[in-house]
Amino acid sequence: MAKNEDTPQSPAAPDLSDIETMGYEEAREELVRTVAQLEAGGTALEESLALWERGEALANRCEHWLDGARERLEAARSRREETDESGG
């Protein structure tokens, strides 16, 4: 089926590769700015969609960092409990 030239193209997904290297604080600060920008409104639909996608990626990055921190805390607690139980 031929593509209708009057049909708008879907916007290209934004490049989110820089988020993979962000630390927690950096990702969180940018997420806060992104949410504020979305809440302020006044952006075109395509820009709003790109901001939303970036916000989702930033939130996932923050969650990844928090999951890692939670695992480290649980491991430290387990080691402490093992030490306490062995009398050391």
Residue 87 pLDDT exceeds 90 = no
Which pTM does this prediction carry?
0.75
Counting residues of the chain whose pLDDT is more than 90, the rounded percentage is 73
**Tens digit of each residue's pLDDT (9 = 90 or more) over 54-80:** 999 999 999 999 999 999 999 999 998
In this prediction, residue 1 carries a pLDDT of 46
Phi-psi region of 42 (alpha: psi -120 to 50; beta: other; left: phi over 0): left
